[in-house]
Amino acid sequence: MKNIAVFASGNGTNLQAILDNIAKGSLKVRLALVVSDKQNAFALKRAKKAGIKTFYLDPKKFVSKEAYEREIAAQLKKEKVDLVVLAGFMRILSPFFVRAYRNRILNIHPALLPAFKGGRAIKDAYNYGAKATGVTVHFVDEHVDHGPIIAQEPVKVSDAESVVQLEARIHKVEHKVYSEVIGRVASGRFTVKGRRVIFTP
């Protein structure tokens, strides 16, 4: 079974969905470590409650992004982590880390990339008047919200709903899609050709 690490900075509802799916047996990976850059991230509490090892590391204590990430990478190596799963980790990874884990870092983004990149994607899509948005899971490369797309799930925007309602619906889709995609990637039955991620049966 593959070992994964989840990186989270905030609430950790995606982490919770992953924990629940592992407990149910529908996601067959081992969650070896939860990493956070925020000491008070609720995600860390969720991990501890589930008996998962946590690793908080303060970026301010390091001279550079790379020095910070080298420390994290050493921890991942110790825990024999195969896949890195970003779930609301609000830091951009350096080329050093991306290279070390090429096509082994997944990110979830609450929009249909390349539309609405950045940290406010749901609000941005709503305020733009988009009639459809959604969820993207992609491999992380050297550019922000840019790497090869693994899966996308569209969500229609209803004229009647508030941004808060849209947000809740998108999160619900994220919680379902992310575990499915992590399971598929963990199976290893795919190839990456340029930007295309091709799954084989």
Q: Known catalytic residues?
A: 109
* Least separation in angstroms between CB 87 and ligand GAR: 5
* Least separation in angstroms between CB 109 and ligand GAR: 5
3 state SS of 140 = coil
Which residues contact ligand GAR (rule: CB under 6 A)? 8, 10-14, 87-88, 108-110, 119, 121, 145, 171, 174
* Least separation in angstroms between CB 100 and ligand GAR: 21
- Give 35 or 108: the residue with its C-beta nearer to ligand GAR: 108
CA distances for 49 relative to 42, 44, 201, angstroms: 11, 9, 36
3 state SS of 50 = coil
- Give 3 or 11: the residue with its C-beta nearer to ligand GAR: 11
The torsion angles phi and psi of 188, rounded to 5 degrees, stand at 80, 5
Asked if 97 and 7 touch (Cβ cutoff 8 Å), the reply is no
- Facing residues of 198 across strands? 191
- Give 110 or 147: the residue with its C-beta nearer to ligand GAR: 110
Asked if 68 and 42 touch (Cβ cutoff 8 Å), the reply is no
Q: Which single residue brings its beta carbon nearest to ligand GAR?
A: 88
3 state SS of 21 = helix
* Least separation in angstroms between CB 86 and ligand GAR: 8
Handedness of CA 135, 41, 7, 14 (dihedral sign): negative
- Give 154 or 188: the residue with its C-beta nearer to ligand GAR: 154
How far apart are the C-alpha atoms of 62 and 45, rounded to whole Å? 24
Single-letter code of the amino acid located at 78? K
